[in-house]
Amino acid sequence: MLSIAIGPFALAVNHLLLLLALGLASVVAWWSARRSGANNPESVQFSLFLLGLLVARVAFVIAYWSQYRDSPWQAVDIRDGGFLAWVGVLTIIVGGALYGWQRARSRRPLALGLGSGLLFWLLSQLALSFYQQGAALPDLTLRNANGEPVRLADYKGRPLVINLWATWCPPCRREMPVLHAAQQQRDDVVFLFVNQAESPKTVADFLDTQGLALDHVLFDDGELAQQVGAMALPSTLFYTAEGRLQGSHLGELSNASLTRALESVTGSAAAVSASPRTTP
């Protein structure tokens, strides 16, 4: 499962695990502080959590600055999920150590809280990574705009990006030029645009209006999303050439977050530019 639905909202599994880690850290720190008579460091932990997120975002923007240079305002749009997690974790550890060094009474509950939260998050991320990388490309047959059957397995042999989308979905519409540009630039990757439960005419009208020429548009009634556990749109899945899931992304992709995701399935650091390649 890549995401879960909570009423009208959807949450990526890795985001849920992060919130659970924060909750666990708060409970453990509160319990330890209560037993020792120390002050509850819950507010300190939350501040360190926010600081870690901020530093992880800044580090990501710096690492992929070439993708933000032309539109620097996008650096503050965290909806693309661009964070360097290891930098944020290191920031939390160093910040917690400095705080505990100056306040001996809070040292133990803070250390136990941060330690339990970080350990839970690391182990859960490891388990999620093993699950994703063990998941195979679903053995499904979809259809193209002419109604002809198309097997997903036929696309094995090159890294594969599958974008689940619909024309009525605002973030799907916003990210489509990014994926379109990547399709034009990355001949080493196959991009599949799997529309969810819309007619070929609706999709064709949308693409014509937006001036988008997509090479591989397929149609699905929701079976693929159900099989991979994608509970919201847009969802993008990244498969290796052997058809093994390497990663996923819930929500809108930016040039930077797409570039990073492609690195994981291709091993190439080639960037996605904001504009598609033109041919003479």
Task: Say what the pLDDT of residue 279 is.
Answer: 32
pTM above the 0.85 mark? yes
255 touches 67 (CB < 8 A): yes
Residue 6 to residue 22: CA distance in whole angstroms: 19
3-class secondary structure, 194: strand
Positions of the chain with pLDDT under 50 = 276-280
Domain annotation for the chain: domains and CATH numbers: 3-134 (no CATH), 141-266 (3.40.30.10)
Distances in Å between the Cα of 255 and the Cα atoms of 12, 63, 209, 260, 269 are 20, 13, 22, 9, 13
Task: Say what the pLDDT of residue 269 is.
Answer: 53
Which helix (DSSP H) or strand (DSSP E) does residue 218 occupy? strand 217-220
Task: Say what the pLDDT of residue 278 is.
Answer: 35
pLDDT in tens, 66-125: 999 988 988 999 889 999 999 999 999 999 999 988 888 889 999 999 999 999 999 999
- Say how many Å lie between the first and final Cα of the chain, rounded: 43
Task: Say what the pLDDT of residue 165 is.
Answer: 97
